[in-house]
């Protein structure tokens, strides 16, 4: 293919990337550096105001306290289930369909379902009260409710990604280790995990980014004015309650930088594993 033809094929993707991602991000950074109230010209006033306000700064810790543990739990459980289903099990299609069903429901329906099942007047609480087990714990409109919602939303995505990755590993490697007398745990730790680690790192990074940007779940099943006031909620309030798009853009940029920091840590650990020979991307794949 000639160079001109290759450029024509790449051009639509480049234009789409510039219009949908690069321009909005650059414009957001520009707005964040031009406060709605203040001196003319570029200024770091919005960022100084954000980091100087404990109520606003707290949103980073709140968001991280939701995103990090939920990401760990989601990836570990998804990896466990995917690993168990790697060679097929009874009723595999039915089980897979049930596990990925929340993807089709959407965030709002999942949140409403959680409120209807785990809420104060939900089926679970009514069943526990009918059984005479006393007052059930509160599982919605708090930190726990948001954790449940995030897990239900992101587990199917993580499970499908890891299942596809693990299923692509050559089964002959595992069979050879078993023939040589390796026990299941040794097979996983010495043979399978080094091949799974790159895929698990990618899944962890993507789930972390989605969790850190939590907004609807924190509002619908959390306490948006209290325990689950995330950084995304802070940006929304500045934009649509205080009508300060400049400050909202600054908060959004801070959120993006936090997500990039998380990605950098995960990618760094993944690269370190690959560099030491513990994990090799694509090794053993069919």
How much of the chain exceeds pLDDT 70, in percent? Answer: 92
- According to CATH, the topology of domain 54-275 is MetI-like fold (1.10.3720)
The first and second tokens of residue 280, run together, are 């090799």
In a 3-state reduction of DSSP, which class is residue 134?
coil
Provide the residue ranges of all domains of the chain, joining segments of one domain with +.
Answer: 54-275
Judged against a pLDDT cut of 80, whether residue 284 lies above it is answered with no
Judged against a pLDDT cut of 70, whether residue 92 lies above it is answered with yes
The DSSP code for 285 is B
Residue 58: what are its φ and ψ, rounded to 5°?
-60, -25
Judged against a pLDDT cut of 80, whether residue 282 lies above it is answered with no
Note the pLDDT tens digit of each residue in 237-252.
999 999 999 999 999 9
Q: Which whole-number Å values give the CA distances from 95 to 82, 88, 104, 156, in the listed order?
A: 11, 11, 15, 11
pLDDT at residue 283 in the model: 44
The DSSP code for 208 is H
Residue with tokens 């100084």: 48
What is the average pLDDT across 7-22? 88
Q: What are the beta bridge partners of residue 201?
A: none
Judged against a pLDDT cut of 70, whether residue 2 lies above it is answered with no
- 274 or 170: whose pLDDT is higher? 170
The model's confidence at residue 281, banded by pLDDT at 50, 70 and 90, is very low
The model's confidence at residue 277, banded by pLDDT at 50, 70 and 90, is very low
What's the chain's average pLDDT? Answer: 87
What contacts 109, CB < 8 A, 6 or more positions away? none
Query: 190: how many CB neighbours lie within 10 A of its CB?
Result: 11
Judged against a pLDDT cut of 90, whether residue 93 lies above it is answered with no
Compute the distance between CA of residue 64 and CA of residue 229 in angstroms, rounded to an integer.
11
Note the pLDDT tens digit of each residue in 138-147.
889 999 999 9
């Amino acid at each position: 293919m000639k160079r001109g033809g290759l450029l024509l094929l790449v051009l639509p993707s480049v234009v789409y990337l510039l219009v949908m991602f690069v321009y909005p991000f650059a414009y957001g950074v520009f707005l964040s550096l031009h406060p709605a109230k203040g001196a003319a010209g570029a200024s770091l006033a919005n960022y100084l105001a954000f980091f100087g306000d404990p109520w606003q700064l707290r949103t980073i810790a709140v968001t991280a306290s939701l995103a990090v543990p939920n990401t760990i739990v989601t990836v570990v459980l998804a990896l466990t289930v995917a690993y168990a289903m790697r060679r097929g099990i009874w009723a595999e299609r039915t089980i897979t369909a049930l596990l990925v069903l929340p993807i089709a429901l959407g965030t709002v329906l999942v949140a409403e379902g959680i409120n209807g099942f785990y809420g104060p007047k939900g089926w679970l609480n009514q069943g526990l009260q009918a059984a005479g087990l006393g007052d059930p714990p509160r599982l919605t409109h708090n930190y726990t409710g948001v954790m449940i919602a995030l897990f239900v939303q992101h587990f199917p995505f993580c499970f499908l990604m890891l299942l596809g990755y693990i299923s692509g590993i050559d089964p002959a490697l595992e069979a050879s280790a078993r023939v040589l007398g390796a026990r299941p745990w040794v097979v996983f730790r010495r043979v399978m995990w080094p091949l799974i680690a790159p895929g698990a790192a990618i899944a962890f990074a993507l789930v972390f980014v989605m969790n850190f940007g939590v907004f609807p779940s924190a509002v619908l099943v959390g306490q948006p004015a209290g325990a689950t006031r995330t950084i995304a909620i802070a940006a929304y309030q500045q934009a649509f309650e205080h009508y300060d798009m400049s400050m909202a853009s600054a908060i959004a940029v801070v959120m993006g930088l936090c997500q990039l920091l998380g990605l950098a840590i995960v990618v760094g650990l993944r690269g370190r594993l690959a560099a030491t020979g513990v994990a090799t991307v694509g090794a053993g794949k069919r």
